[in-house]
Amino acid sequence: MPQTSAHFTRRDALRLLGGASACSLMRGQARRPNFLVIVTDDHGIGDVGCYGHKEALTPNLDRLAASGVRFTQWYANAPVCSASRAAILTGKYPDRTGVKGALPSQPSFDVPGLRAGEVTFPALLKQAGYSTAAFGKWHLGSAMYSRPLAQGFDSFFGWYSGWLDAYSHRYYQLGSAPGKIFHDLWRNTEEVFEEPAYMTELLAREASAHLARQKKDQPFAMYLAFGAPHYSMMAPKKYLDRFPASMERDRRTHLGMVAAVDDAIGLLLNQLRQQGLEDDTVVFFQADNGATREVRASSTAQPYTGGSNGAYRGYKLGLFDGGMHVPAILRAPGFVKAGQVWDRPLMSMDLLPTFLSMAGQDARVPASVDGRDILPVLRGEKRTHEDMFWSFNQERAVRQGDWKLILNPPKFPGEETGAKMWLSNLEADPGEKRNMAGSEPERVRQLTEKIRAWERYVGIPSEGDPE
């Protein structure tokens, strides 16, 4: 399949979806598909083997990619967890969901997040007769109306906070008085105690058991959000031993955590096959944002270097591509052909309308949704997004075609830009190394106007035009 947009044709798109037979399956599939959505945390493209990074041992993600479509320009809607996950669930720009940045974690469990009555893909699929379940990290609000059971899920096993200790299942905030330490693990509304079970393995156990209870006559949607490879940075020895002892400590721990997640994904894929549900289940995987540089993830109190965003500049908490250009894979038997690569930009908010289309509910996509069904895009019948936008604190960014403008670009340690505007052509310079703002003033002006119009649309204040 051609790897550059200049040579991509509708024939290539039909080949991606398996030609006319796949199109007819999409229109007349006898059984509505199940959905398994898997999200990882602070997981860069450089942490997945099938993206060309062989030191990352991810055989199950690699086989998932071989059986579906691997996206090379998939974007999270935000470079941080809560906002990114809000877009996955709602199909909207996160600023329009009321979830901005990363929500706080509180032992009172009353943090506002997703609004009461928010439209989510589990709620819509539940209305269409699906059973729904969520596992793992929620971080979309712990107030009663924001919790999973109020946002379309029939059942929940996981936690509300931004992260947990991997063995004690407690949230820790240290370094300033008075600090916070509290336990945060729940089955529906009941607090449960599973320490010292390693969290990734615990989620694998619970999610696999849930899949084992599924039947062919009841479609289901399952959302599994791992807390790894986010801190706390902990990996059992059996995962660390897969990597050379000479490997840099934080990198070895990071890849050990990824290996544990990959094993869990393999367990679920095998369970689907054992249940006879493999060909009936759409599996989608993505990271919520790129790898981080946060000191709190480091074993040496220095900027963290364990995760990798590959060739992309920047990290979590910033709008260079490293912050939200993430690994993503879709296996959808009957909808897309196996072993393909899609190399044009798409976004997390596209998932909701795509899932509804696959479920035969595309006519019921709410008008408030910002995402679009990607199946016609993959077929070559529609174009990808003309413009894509992001915000994070004072940063703003827009991508139009291959051009991307960042206002108030991030300043990571050792990578300070000294610029108020950063313009890149991502086709020519995917690593955003060269700032073309000075040589393209008219393009900067036009793209800045687009950002201001988008700010008004999503209801966030303008930070003013950088000078």
Task: State the pLDDT at residue 462.
Answer: 85
What number is the average pLDDT over the span 289-296?
A: 97
Task: State the pLDDT at residue 467.
Answer: 55
Question: Is there a cis peptide before residue 246, judged by omega within 30 degrees of 0?
Answer: no
* Cα dihedral across residues 13, 15, 16, 20: positive or negative: positive
**pLDDT tier, 108 (very low <50, low <70, confident <90, very high otherwise):** very high
Task: State the pLDDT at residue 21.
Answer: 37
| C-beta of residue 116 within 8 angstroms of C-beta of residue 132 | no
Minimum mean pLDDT range among 130-134, 168-172, 409-413, 422-426: 409-413
Indicate whether 45 pLDDT > 90: yes
Task: State the pLDDT at residue 176.
Answer: 74
Closest to 155 (Cα-Cα) out of 132, 139, 136:
132
Indicate whether 59 pLDDT > 90: yes
Task: State the pLDDT at residue 466.
Answer: 64
Task: State the pLDDT at residue 18.
Answer: 53
pTM score over 0.85: yes
Task: State the pLDDT at residue 25.
Answer: 40
Residue-wise pLDDT for 140-163, tens only, equals: 999 999 999 999 999 999 999 999
What number is the average pLDDT over the span 40-52?
A: 98
**pLDDT tier, 1 (very low <50, low <70, confident <90, very high otherwise):** very low
Q: How many CB atoms lie within 10 A of CB 183?
A: 17
Q: Which two tokens stand for residue 380?
A: 């070559």
Task: State the pLDDT at residue 2.
Answer: 31
| C-beta of residue 315 within 8 angstroms of C-beta of residue 292 | yes
Q: How many CB atoms lie within 10 A of CB 215?
A: 11
What number is the average pLDDT over the span 355-375?
A: 94
329 beta partners: 70, 285
Q: Rounded mean pLDDT of the chain? A: 93
What number is the average pLDDT over the span 163-179?
A: 89
What number is the average pLDDT over the span 107-127?
A: 97
- Percentage of residues of the chain with pLDDT beyond 90: 87
Residue-wise pLDDT for 194-240, tens only, equals: 999 999 999 999 999 999 999 999 999 999 999 999 999 999 999 99
Task: State the pLDDT at residue 19.
Answer: 42
Residue with the bigger pLDDT between 30 and 371: it is 371
**pLDDT tier, 465 (very low <50, low <70, confident <90, very high otherwise):** low
* Residues marked as catalytic: 81, 139
Q: HSE (CB half, 13 Å, CA atoms) of 272?
A: 24
